[in-house]
Structure 1
């Protein structure tokens, strides 16, 4: 089955490159940038000069590319995903029931293919708006559709571009088989006159000396429970060699379908927010405005923090002081305040 999906995707690439020119190098985030070994990021906090705004890692020139936010499917039938390992930031949030979805935000790297792409919800759109990203989804809830049609955020949706900008894999069943190439994202942006040369405001990152002075309690295994279905529970192991957190779903390492590279991040931010069932379909309202408690994991240590919404971004705070991130990628888990952090998160030292 894997071989046939690879053949399908290869055919899609040939078709796309025949119809539209592959982006040569979208500024500094060409498709080979930050390739590296598993868990490694090209560039470091030691490098001088330019840095990418959402990772704090070194860049050859000033980064001017717009962020792209993509709804990535997390159903077991959609795994392993393609392009997820290249995201600068990933939000993991409940959709309906105990099913989580990912909002993957890309800026420093443009993967050739991303997917499977899934449908929009209003709170994912709000999170994408915080980075002024071009929002990519396939489908929508009624409230999400209202936001998109009213122009709340620039977007491309598979409901309008299925079979053109979005391509289906014959080897996976709908709705777990929609993919989009980065070249088609740029093509769609051009068709809609979306400006793709507006770099997001940079996040706050720690300097090397500050990274070396991180304090906290040790924890190298982090379990996050979203409910009774283990398929959607998250697990992070801290790899001391790479100094990265490696992600697992239901005990299986989260890897890229094409490369086999694991998801490896420098920051894991877990926060609790009020969740309420909004309709008979089980869709949710999630309070992303009020702030609350969270855990921040960096360099194998964890601290209890607060989170605040600053211009649409959910950021860690110690009182009134914003806490800087370790340069690298960041994964953000939003869990319901009922049962809350104490019940839904397990921190262990092994």
Structure 2
């Protein structure tokens, strides 16, 4: 009786093992291939990191205006030209597109402009007139090009010795210049400015000429700036010109001989800044006055309806003008266009509140 009692548990264990094995096979058949319990878990394939978005081009600062401009927009040279200011030469073409305008005394008590374009170059500019002895000192810091109609040989030689590309009406046979039929000679020479820029596009852009600040750069107490509604300037006994502050447009509006000064577009001639420099006049060339542009002297900056007094200096022909307030603080201009009035010591400058 003892034998059967001992074998019965063994049979039960064998039956249970067989049943478990069968169940495992059944599960495997229903669920596909069985995985080993010791196999490492599978991982999802690593996703590639997204490429960083390209940064938009950063705006540039126009060197002759201090204004923001699209990247790459300043990568071209400046174009300067001698522009006539005789009564028969008015209205001039392209003055309000200019970045910087120098007004200088010429013979007979008249004035003439040396105008520099860079941020915007009009299709045409003019009337173009002859060069004067101070012009190499004014244009050299800009590099680029200068256009003029000729001049006394000594003055032409001086300009051609300057490190700028000379575009001369008297020597040109390529069609860069033409005479405007509706204008009286010699106040009728017009330059194809767009074509001049295309031909010389590989020249480097100009370096900055002034330091720029806020739209109201003279509001700090150290400048002791005084409110100014009108600027009256005299280069000689005749030919008065004036600037009036227009708060609505944040611009100085120009007059000549008591009448609004208009350009060919019909717009009033205007500027963001008016820089008045008291200069000496050299009479080495007889009837042709030479503005002494290298040196130092008295200066005024008029911007945003205020005027600050100070000094100007220009260390050499290839250096720009530097402006400092009476306490030695550097003077910054408001971003925008600038007229530089080179008023002779014998002339006058008045700033009315």
TM-score, length-scaled by structure 1: 0.77
The equivalent residue for 1:201 is 208
Q: Is 1:269–2:280 an aligned residue pair?
A: no
CA distance in structure 1 between the aligned counterparts of 2:216 and 2:106, rounded to whole angstroms: 39
Q: Is 1:138–2:138 an aligned residue pair?
A: no
CA distance in structure 2 between the aligned counterparts of 1:215 and 1:66, rounded to whole angstroms: 37
CA distance in structure 1 between the aligned counterparts of 2:297 and 2:251, rounded to whole angstroms: 26
Q: Is 1:294–2:299 an aligned residue pair?
A: yes
Q: Deviations over 1:110-149 (max 9, x none)?
A: 1111000010112122201111131111112233211234
Contact 2:243 2:253 in 1 (8 A): yes
In structure 1, which of residues 215, 223, 237 is the aligned counterpart of residue 232 of structure 2?
Answer: 223
In structure 2, which of residues 337, 340, 348 is the aligned counterpart of residue 329 of structure 1?
Answer: 337
CA distance in structure 1 between the aligned counterparts of 2:313 and 2:303, rounded to whole angstroms: 19
The equivalent residue for 2:17 is none
CA distance in structure 1 between the aligned counterparts of 2:274 and 2:206, rounded to whole angstroms: 24
CA distance in structure 1 between the aligned counterparts of 2:285 and 2:213, rounded to whole angstroms: 42
The equivalent residue for 1:54 is 64
The equivalent residue for 1:76 is 87
Contact 1:223 1:345 in 2 (8 A): yes
User: Structure 1 stretches of 5 or more lacking a match?
Assistant: 1-47
Q: Is 1:347–2:351 an aligned residue pair?
A: yes
The equivalent residue for 1:278 is 284
Task: Specify the SS of the correspondent of 2:107.
Answer: coil
Aligned CA distance change for structure 1 residues 242 and 288 (closer, same or farther; 3 Å): same
User: Structure 2 stretches of 5 or more lacking a match?
Assistant: 1-57
The equivalent residue for 1:33 is none
CA displacement at 1:250 relative to structure 2? 1.1
Task: Specify the SS of the correspondent of 2:88.
Answer: helix
CA displacement at 1:51 relative to structure 2? 1.8
* 1:307-322 pair list within 5 angstroms: 307-310=312-315, 311-318=318-325, 320-322=328-330
CA distance in structure 2 between the aligned counterparts of 1:336 and 1:245, rounded to whole angstroms: 21
Compare 168-177 and 314-323 and name the one that shifted more: 314-323
Q: Deviations over 1:247-277 (max 9, x none)?
A: 11112222221x2122221111111111022
* 1:107-186 pair list within 5 angstroms: 107-150=118-161, 152-161=163-172, 164-186=175-197
Aligned CA distance change for structure 1 residues 61 and 336 (closer, same or farther; 3 Å): same
TM-score, length-scaled by structure 2: 0.76
The equivalent residue for 2:242 is 235
In structure 2, which of residues 251, 254, 260 is the aligned counterpart of residue 253 of structure 1?
Answer: 260
Number of residue equivalences: 290
Aligned CA distance change for structure 1 residues 220 and 154 (closer, same or farther; 3 Å): same
Aligned CA distance change for structure 1 residues 53 and 329 (closer, same or farther; 3 Å): same
Q: Is 1:338–2:342 an aligned residue pair?
A: no
The equivalent residue for 2:110 is 99
Contact 1:165 1:188 in 2 (8 A): no
Contact 2:142 2:207 in 1 (8 A): yes
Q: Is 1:66–2:71 an aligned residue pair?
A: no
